[in-house]
Amino acid sequence: MKKLFFVVLALSLSVANLYTWAESSPIKSDSPDEYVVVKGDTLWGISDLFLESPWMWPEIWQANPDIENPHLIFPGDVVRLVYVDGKPRLTVNRTVRLAPNSDAKLKPTIRVMPLDEAIPAVPLDKIASYLSRSRIVMPDEIAGAPYMLAGPERRLIVGEGDLAYARGTFDEDIDNYNIFREGEKFIDEETGELLGIHALGVGGARVRNVDGDIGRLDITRSYEEIRVADVLLPARERSIDSIFYPSAPDFPIEAEILAVEGGVNRVGKMDIVIINKGDREGVQAGNVFRVFVRGELVDDRVAGERIQLPDEEAGLVMVFNTFDKLSFGIVMESTRPMTVGDALRNPQ
C-alpha cells in the first residue's frame, strides 16, 4: 500500500542510522494525501503537516538519482512517500508541465533551478536580521578595536549619511566596518568562565581617510542611534544557509537558555535564543534540542521538606549559528511558556 504526499527533503542518511519505525509511526494519522509546494513554504512547516516529529524528516529521505540535486526542494516539486520493505521513504519528482492541448511528448529531463529558489528549512526572515546585527565576541576583540569618538559639530550621536570620527588602529586593507555596542556578558555560573559578549549591531561605516589614529567615517547605515564608544569591527559577509539539516547532536548535550531576543525573559515560538553551548561542546548548526521548563521547588508539608518537581517538556529549539562557547537558536515549537534558564536536552 502506498500513500502519497508532498513534503520536505534535505539529506540522505545511511540505513544504519534510520529511525526504528516499528516502535512509533512517524506519519500523522490525519496527514493530507498531497500538498503542492509553493513559494513561501518552509521545510519544517511542510513536514509538520505530515510527520509527528517534523525535525526527523531527513531520516527517511531517499535520494532520487534522476534529480540533479535531490537534497533541495523547489516550488512545484512533488515529494512522495513510498513504502519500501514496509518502511516509509520520501522521494521527489521534479515535474515539467505542458501547456493545455499541447501535443508535445515528455521525456526524462533534469530541470535546473537557481539555488536561491530552494525552499528554506526555517523562515529566513526570522533569523536574517539577527545574524547580520549580532555577533558573539571576546574582550580582546573589543579592546583592540577602533571606537566612535564624535560626530559632526561635536555631536555625540550620529546616523546614516553623517560624517563621523573614530579613534584607534585602522587596518589599511579594510574600508568597511560594522559598528557594535557592547551588550550582555555571559558567564558560566558554575565555573565563572566568560562565555562571550553579545555585540549588538547598530550600524555600518566606510573609512574615508585616516589621520594618525583618527579615522574619518561615512556612516553608511544605522539601525539605531550610533553613540560615542560604540566599537568598529571589520565587516564580514554573513551568508545564511537556507538548507539546514535537522538532526540530534551526535552525543548527549545538556544546555541552557541564557537570553532571548529583545532582552525579555519569556520565550515563545519563533523567538531567537542564546544557549550556553557552542563549537567547543560539539554543537552544530541544525542540531535540535527539546526544551524543558525547570521543575519548581515546593514544600512537602507532610514530610516537612523541600521537593524538586520534575522538569516538563515545553518545545523544540533548532540551532542556526554557533560560536566557540555559545550558539544562536530559533524556537520551532512551543507547547507551554518557556523562560530564560530552561534546560535543553537531546531529542528522544
Which amino acid, residue 261? E
Q: What percent of the chain has pLDDT over 70?
A: 79
pLDDT of residue 104: 47
Dump pLDDT digits (tens) for 213-235. Answer: 999 999 999 998 999 999 999 98
Q: Which residue has the cell 579615522?
A: 215
Task: Give residue 296's pLDDT.
Answer: 86
Would the pTM count as exceeding 0.85? no
Contact (Cβ atoms closer than 8 angstroms) between residue 81 and residue 34: no
Using the predicted structure, report yes or no on whether residue 242 has a pLDDT greater than 70. no
Q: What is the pLDDT of residue 198?
A: 94
Residue 21, CA distances (Å) to 10, 87, 199, 250 in order: 19, 7, 44, 20
Of residues 302 and 117, more confidently modeled? 302
Amino acid at 323: F
* pLDDT of 25 strictly over 60: yes
Which range has highest mean pLDDT (61-75, 94-108, 149-163, 327-341)? Answer: 327-341
Q: What is the pLDDT of residue 184?
A: 93
Mean pLDDT of the chain: 80
Q: How many CA atoms lie within 13 A of 238 on its CB side?
A: 16
The arithmetic mean of pLDDT across residues 107-127, rounded, is 65
The H or E element containing residue 90 is strand 87-93
Position 68 scores a pLDDT of 58
Q: What pLDDT sits at residue 266?
A: 84
| Grid cell of 179 as nine digits | 559598528
Q: Is the pLDDT of residue 136 over 80?
A: yes
Among 232, 40, 8, 221, CA closest to 123 = 40
Q: Which residues contact 109 (CB under 8 A, 6 or more apart)?
A: 96
pLDDT of res. 130: 75
Q: What are the residue ranges spanned by the domains of the chain?
A: 1-96+115-119, 129-234, 255-345
Q: Do domains 129-234 and 255-345 have the same CATH topology?
A: yes
Rounded Cα distance between 47 and 49, Å, is: 5
Q: In angstroms, rounded to a whole number, what is the distance separating the alpha carbons of residues 203 and 222?
A: 4
CATH of 255-345, one of 3.40.47.10, 3.40.50.300, 2.40.10.410, 3.30.70.20: 2.40.10.410
Give the residue among 330, 193, 124, 59 at the shortest CA–CA distance from 344: 330
| pLDDT for 32 | 73
Place of cell 520534575: 310
Compute, in degrees rounded to 10, the torsion defined by CA atoms 98, 102, 65, 40: 0
Mean pLDDT comparison of 93-107, 128-142, 166-180, highest-scoring range: 166-180
Architecture of domain 129-234: Beta Barrel (2.40)
Tell me which of 181 and 107 has the higher pLDDT: 181
Mean pLDDT score, 290-304: 91
How far is C-alpha 52 from the chain's CA centre?
Answer: 21
- What Å distances lie between residue 125 and 120, 122, 342, CA to CA? 10, 9, 25
